Amino acid sequence: MSNALLQEAIRCLAIQDVYLRGYNLTIAPDYDPKLNPGTLGVQLRAHVPSGHIVSLRNNEAPEEASTRLLRIYVDTGLRFVSTTNVNQLPGDGDTATPDAVKAELAAQFVAEYLITCQNLSEEARNVFAEHNAAFHVWPYWRELIESVCARARLPLVVLPMFAQNALNKAGQTDSQKA
């Protein structure tokens, strides 16, 4: 990572909005969180798959310059995994067998930034997306996890503070117990 590129992006971008684009909750048919919560491991992930620039024109004043936004998509996920079989313990990326996954919540968020400079490089945008977008999304992800888990009667999970170095190259965070 180039600190100069990150500083260029920070200078040229101002956060405008963070919103949920969609989510999906799946609970395994053989798992009833109310009757048998059990001891489950938790796997978390956050990944920035893409981003793009959107130009917004004011139709009432077309002679004005368009507003440019950088939209960064952040994919997040949480899995509750059975820890009864030592070979299915979470923590090795996606190594849990399908029958070990008892519940999964996946969500996509969008972080929008106003572009205030005309000459923001693509490299700087990419470095910024990789290092800042998940951080800005994290509080919204935390709230969604707490809300959905409570409504589905899944074990409550307190999402840890965001730490960029806790995310490995696959976008996984360390496992924890629920």
Q: What number of CA atoms fall less than 13 Å from residue 87's CA on the CB side?
A: 3
The more confidently predicted of residues 51 and 111 is 111
Percent of the residues in the chain that have a pLDDT greater than 70, as a whole number: 76
pLDDT of the residue at 98: 66
pLDDT at 168 over 80: no
pLDDT at 74 over 60: yes
| Residues 170, 165: Cα–Cα separation, whole Å | 12
- Lowest mean pLDDT of 5-9, 10-14, 46-50, name the range: 46-50
C-beta of residue 148 within 8 angstroms of C-beta of residue 169: no
C-beta of residue 105 within 8 angstroms of C-beta of residue 71: no
| Residues 134, 126: Cα–Cα separation, whole Å | 13
The more confidently predicted of residues 18 and 38 is 18
Distance from chain centroid for Cα 165: 15
All domains of the chain, ordered by start, with CATH? 3-58+65-177 (3.10.420.10)
pTM: 0.79
DSSP β-bridge partners for residue 25: 105
Indicate the pLDDT class of residue 174, thresholds 50, 70 and 90.
very low
pLDDT in tens, 107-144: 999 999 999 988 888 898 998 998 889 899 999 999 99
| Residues 111, 10: Cα–Cα separation, whole Å | 14
